[in-house]
């Protein structure tokens, strides 16, 4: 829809070079990350059939956290402890005097096999930390016992950083839940925040000719859930700060209107749209009490930005441009500024204004096309899509410091990349990319590293990360 609107806008923007600067506080620590070994856990009895999902979830959560570097399983020792008592300290070398008990030689595990801390701290593993444990089904409950050890210690009694029990249902969902919770505790020890408990809301369609509906899923793609069933074109989701409501655009009433739904249960809360041919691209204010959106209200051209209460009352315009003003997003930290895309200076660019519509200034430099602005949780940076340096329509993801206008390009020569959305931790981004051949949802760290395809079935776009 937005791209069709922008076809009516054409002119030449001014040229202004921007220097990329340091993005300390957004970019993860990169190659200096502490290393962790997470060997595959084993399950007793009925728990074993869920261990593939468990192990994949645990490793993926820790690796994607941006706080730790996961070492390859091929570098790990052959023996994996399942509980602290499995560690056996080898004796000092005594080749001519083997240890005996009752006249019989005692078999003691040798260094390098995985039975002792130094086997993990030394090569080839050369790791700093070891996560290990086991699972079982007890009294109809999936039980995980998990430990984290600092393997640089010389004694197992001081190496333990924590050990906990986690409980879940006896199914794949329960196994994944315990893995998420164990990973959350590991990540927290290193100052990170797990994305477990948050969701990505997005637009899904089974094929190019199928209806578009709003769905949500876990950050790793698990537990997908369909939220709307309009049977038409439903898109542009937004999520309230507390995660209890979604707003979106749909043509269910034979014109483009905004809908506001509760999430649990899914229920239409009614949004009374201005009586005009198009109301679209809603976004919540940080207090969750208002919605900013794009509308053709009061103009023969498209479009202006408005703000209204959650039910559509109290509507008032924020912009008066005769060009296209679209995609408004309110600063999540201050609630005082709005970034938006506009064609007022030619091809679409990113602008900023205050909440009464004043102090309008352009953030992008006028080259190419820039769209899809998304505020960082700290309210100081934005992510957006930009064709700067590329042919029109070939969008890549950038982040920009709003005060300095310095920017950093995150995606390079990998298809079309659009609609970035920040995770609540401020170091992950979800976005849409067609690099795999079809439009799918991807995630990455805020330096562009660790890109991961999250969706694979059908066509998926316009991700929004929320509670």
pLDDT, one tens digit per residue, over 191-207 is 998 899 999 999 999 99
Does CATH number 3.40.190.10 belong to domain 2-9+197-466?
no
CATH class assigned to 35-91+110-189? alpha beta
The per-residue pLDDT of the chain, averaged, comes to 90
Question: How much of the chain, in percent, has pLDDT values that exceed 90?
Answer: 81
Minimum mean pLDDT among 144-148, 274-278, 363-367, 393-397: which range?
393-397
Overall size of the chain counted in residues? 467
* Cα–Cα nearest to 186, from 50, 37, 86: 37
What are the distances in angstroms from CA 40 to CA 52, 85, 352? 9, 18, 49
**Cα-to-chain-centroid distance, residue 213:** 20
Structure tokens at 357: 């519509």
Domain map of the chain by residue range?
Answer: 2-9+197-466, 35-91+110-189
What's the pLDDT tens digit per position in 288-342?
Answer: 999 999 999 988 778 999 999 999 999 999 998 788 999 999 999 999 999 999 9
What's the pLDDT tens digit per position in 209-225?
Answer: 999 999 999 999 999 99
Residue, of 340 and 413, whose pLDDT is higher: 340
User: Which pLDDT value is given to residue 363?
Assistant: 98
pLDDT score of 16 more than 60:
no
Cβ atoms of 257 and 273 closer than 8 Å: yes
What's the pLDDT tens digit per position in 230-251?
Answer: 999 999 999 999 999 999 999 9
User: Which pLDDT value is given to residue 15?
Assistant: 29
98 band by pLDDT with thresholds 50, 70 and 90: low
pLDDT score of 12 more than 50:
no
Q: What values do phi and psi take at 258, rounded to 5?
A: -100, 140
pLDDT score of 6 more than 70:
no
pLDDT score of 26 more than 80:
no
User: Which pLDDT value is given to residue 105?
Assistant: 52
Q: 């990329």: which residue's tokens?
A: 20
- Parallel, antiparallel or unpaired: strands 417-422 and 428-433: antiparallel
What's the pLDDT tens digit per position in 433-460?
Answer: 999 999 999 999 999 999 999 999 999 9
Record the pTM.
0.87
Structure tokens at 389: 């340096």
Helices 172-189 and 51-63, axial angle in degrees (round to 10): 30
User: Which pLDDT value is given to residue 14?
Assistant: 31
* Cα–Cα nearest to 65, from 28, 22, 26: 28
Structure tokens at 376: 């960082």
31 band by pLDDT with thresholds 50, 70 and 90: low
3 band by pLDDT with thresholds 50, 70 and 90: very low
87 band by pLDDT with thresholds 50, 70 and 90: very high
User: Which pLDDT value is given to residue 298?
Assistant: 87
How far apart CA 396 and CA 429 sit, in angstroms, is 13
């Amino acid at each position: 829809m937005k791209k069709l609107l922008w076809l009516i806008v054409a002119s030449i923007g001014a040229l202004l070079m921007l220097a990329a600067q340091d993005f300390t506080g957004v970019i993860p620590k990169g190659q200096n990350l502490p290393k962790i070994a997470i060997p595959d856990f084993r399950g007793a009895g009925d728990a074993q059939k869920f261990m593939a999902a468990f192990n994949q979830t645990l490793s993926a959560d820790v690796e994607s956290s941006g706080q730790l570097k996961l070492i390859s399983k091929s570098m790990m020792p052959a023996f994996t402890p399942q509980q602290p008592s499995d560690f056996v300290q080898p004796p000092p070398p005594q080749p001519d005097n083997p240890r005996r008990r009752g006249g019989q030689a005692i078999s003691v595990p040798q260094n390098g096999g995985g039975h002792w801390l130094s086997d993990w701290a030394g090569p080839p593993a050369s790791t700093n930390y070891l996560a290990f444990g086991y699972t079982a089904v007890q009294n109809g409950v999936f039980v995980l016992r998990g430990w984290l050890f600092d393997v640089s210690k010389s004694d197992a009694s001081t190496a333990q950083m924590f050990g906990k029990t986690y409980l879940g249902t006896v199914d794949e969902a329960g196994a994944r839940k315990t893995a998420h919770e164990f990973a959350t505790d590991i990540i927290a020890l290193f100052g990170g925040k797990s994305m477990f408990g948050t969701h990505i809301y997005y637009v899904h369609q089974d094929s190019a000719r199928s209806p578009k509906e709003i769905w949500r899923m876990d950050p790793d793609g698990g537990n997908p859930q369909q939220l709307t069933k309009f049977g038409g074109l439903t898109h542009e989701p937004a999520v309230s700060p507390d995660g209890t409501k979604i707003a979106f655009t749909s043509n269910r009433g034979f014109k483009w209107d905004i809908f506001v739904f509760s999430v649990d249960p899914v229920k239409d809360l009614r949004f009374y749209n201005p009586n005009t041919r198009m109301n679209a691209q809603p976004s919540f204010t940080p207090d969750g009490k208002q919605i900013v959106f794009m509308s053709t209200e009061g103009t023969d051209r498209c479009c202006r930005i408005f703000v209204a209460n959650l039910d559509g009352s109290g509507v008032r315009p924020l912009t008066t441009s005769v060009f296209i003003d679209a995609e408004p997003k309110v600063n999540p930290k201050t609630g005082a500024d709005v970034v938006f895309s506009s064609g007022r200076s030619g091809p679409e660019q990113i602008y900023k204004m205050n909440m009464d519509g004043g102090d309008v200034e352009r953030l992008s430099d006028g080259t190419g096309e820039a769209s899809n602005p998304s505020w960082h949780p700290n309210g100081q940076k934005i992510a957006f899509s930009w064709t700067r340096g590329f042919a029109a329509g070939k969008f890549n993801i950038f982040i920009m410091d709003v005060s300095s206008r310095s920017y950093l390009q995150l995606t390079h020569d990998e298809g079309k990349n659009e609609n970035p959305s920040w995770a609540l931790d401020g170091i992950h981004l979800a976005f849409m990319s067609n690099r795999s051949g079809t439009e799918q949802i991807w995630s990455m760290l805020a330096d562009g590293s660790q890109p991961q395809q999250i969706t694979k079935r059908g066509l998926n776009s316009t991700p929004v990360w929320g509670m």
